Amino acid sequence: MKIISYNVNGIRAAIKKGFLEWLVAADPDVICLQEIKAQKEQLDLAIFNKAGYPHHYWFSAQKKGYSGVAILCKTKPENVVYGTGIESMDFEGRNLRVDFPGVSIMSLYLPSGTNIHRLEHKFEYMDLFKDYIDALKAEKPNLVICGDYNICHKAIDIHDPVRNKNVSGFLPEERAWMSGFLNSGFIDAFRELCTDPHQYSWWSYRANSRANNKGWRLDYTLVTSPLKPCIERALILKEAVHSDHCPVLLELNTKT
């Protein structure tokens, strides 16, 4: 199973930049999208069918033009779960899950901490999400959580760890939460296979950051421990330029 996660920073804008043509070429079985910034009714859904993804699910924020997640699938999942059931998390459209035989896949868009109010919300969300996932793992032990976590876990995951040590996304408290989340039974699939530095998935639009590879690794494919033997590939697809993020890929052999 080939899974891609992509913060598109506006699905309509990404489509204008060639997203659909890229999607057909990339050919994932499932693609998890974040920050779609659109309501389902604002989209021509037929274009996704034509691209080979007749099963598509959208969980938008209540606020138009903001946040939101989606999952596009080649084959129909057994079950689809919109949100977490926790109102303070769900009104911004940040969690969507599809269940297939042997594996469940979630698209996650964790809040950013752009100001003190949003940082408080982010920490609240992180705590609620951890509790929610702890319970979910008992029901769905083979779980993949793809998405934009808005956290760089370690110094290797950010271009300038010293200057960014007090910036949200690389705060000690955020990094400690990510360590605790991984230690609760998850594998960072990319870092399981690649320990090379300078591997990023987001670059600021300012100061020619992408061309100079001054980036952050904010996008992850995390898998629960039972799926560790199934990891075949985990890549950052830097050539895709429809967003300030780039996609991340995970290939699982669930027959292992």
Burial readout 163-195 (b: 16 or more C-beta within 10 A, e: otherwise): ebeeebbbbeebbebbeebeeebbbbbbbeeee
Q: Give yes or no for residue 256 having a pLDDT over 70.
A: no
Give the rounded percent of residues in the chain with a pLDDT score beyond 70: 100
State the CB neighbour count (10 A cutoff) for residue 125. 20
Cross-sheet strand order for the sheet of 30-34: 55-59, 69-73, 30-34, 2-7, 248-252, 231-236
Read off the pLDDT of residues 19-47 as tens digits, 9 standing for 90 and up. 999 999 999 999 999 999 999 999 999 99
Mean pLDDT score of the chain: 97
Catalytic positions, written as ranges: 148
Rounded CA-CA distance 117/23 in Å is 36
Give residue limits of the domains in the chain: 2-252
Just give the CATH number of 2-252: 3.60.10.10
pLDDT level of residue 254 (50, 70, 90 thresholds): confident
